[in-house]
Amino acid sequence: MFPQPPVQTLTILGSTGSIGVNTLDVIRRHRHRYRVLALCAHRQIAKLFEQCLEFQPRYAVVADAEHAAVLSGRLMEVGSPTKVVSGPQALIEMASLAEVDMVMAAIVGAAGLPPTLAAAAAGKKILLANKEALVMAGAVFMRTVRENRATLLPIDSEHNAIFQSLPIDYAADPLASGILGLSLTASGGPFRTWTAADLEKVTPEQACAHPNWVMGRKISVDSATLMNKGLELIEAHWLFNVPANKIEVVLHPQSIIHSLVHYVDGSVIAELGNPDMRTPIAHALAYPQRITAGVAPLDLFKVGSLTFERPDDRRFPCLGLAYQALEQGGRSAAILNAVNEVAVQAFLDGRIRFLSIPRVIAETLNCLPAGPEPDSLAEVLDADRQARELADRFIARRLEK
């Protein structure tokens, strides 16, 4: 029996998103173990207000001074002691506070990189749900983790499944651990069975209607294009030090097997469970212990059967673009991520079609040189800026036609 652990304090970056909401739901079940010190959101003031009332954090962070004034006024009216601050620098400060034990890094997109990197530099236990930290800045981020002895625990269901399926003493050496490769499972999103002609007519509402998972709009579109799996491919490479040619993507529409590790003796070890993000969140929060997450037990008789398919690169070229970026190295992954964010937003805004997303990404990747691996946050952000500017020009050119 494990001894009762001391109360651990958290900063939650992205508290009003799906990962943040699920994290708070797990914490709600274990208030004796966890205390929320800071809640960081963007502009969802109403939801953040309710979270502050329930969890009484010392700090709340919002995007700008205008929203901070609104939230602060509402909290003062009800006598809440929570202090409201704003801006990107406040996120960095909340991620590196001396009193913070853990940081849930769940801000979507490039905006989540600086505070997540700050948490690593401060030697925190990082619960990583922000793919971009590794996709954009894999070498910089992992070096920062190592040099400052931070603890890195993956929250993506696929990477958490791999983490659970690896030897407990895994030291980023697949050969020494007898590992042949990894299989990342993917639901296939809402368009897994659609024809190429059907994909020409996809609407944002259809792309955001994921069959298995409840997620934000951007990540839902990434799942529909399979770019989400491409980003996870790059993330897995950095997390586990496995080369691209040893990581395969398998379509598994039931989303019961979350990923697999293949060993030289013929064994394949996988983690199974109902598709609920509270499972990997609870695993990371309590690691190496286990706590309840509010997730229903897996009923294999109800599941009945599990099926697997190869992804069709012709209909979903984003996955192939991610492999290309990882193999090219240098700045390519940062460029891929930046252009994808721009293109997905343009699609959600109705400015380009669904199938234009991979076309804009391919054009930009082919025009910007990979260059050397970025060696600092400044170099990463410079690559990100260049890619966004070029992607905007490509999108504007498409709109002119």
User: pTM to 2 decimals?
Assistant: 0.92
What per-residue confidence (pLDDT) applies to 71? 97
Q: How far apart are CA 72 and CA 20, in angstroms?
A: 21
CATH number of the domain at 8-154, please?
A: 3.40.50.720
Residue in 362, 312, 313, 371 with CA at minimum distance from that of residue 336: 362
- Across 217-226, 235-244, 274-283, least confident range: 217-226
What per-residue confidence (pLDDT) applies to 215? 72
Domain residue ranges in the chain: 8-154
Nearest-5° angle of CA 316, CA 319, CA 325? 140
pLDDT tier at 361, thresholds 50, 70, 90: very high
Does the structure show a pLDDT above 60 at 1?
no
SS (H, E, C) 275-318: CCCHHHHHHHHHCCCCCCCCCCCCCHHHHCCCCCECCCCCCCCH
Phi, psi of 211, deg, nearest 5: -75, -25
What per-residue confidence (pLDDT) applies to 353? 94
* 35-73 confidence digits (pLDDT tens): 999 999 999 999 999 999 999 999 999 999 999 999 999
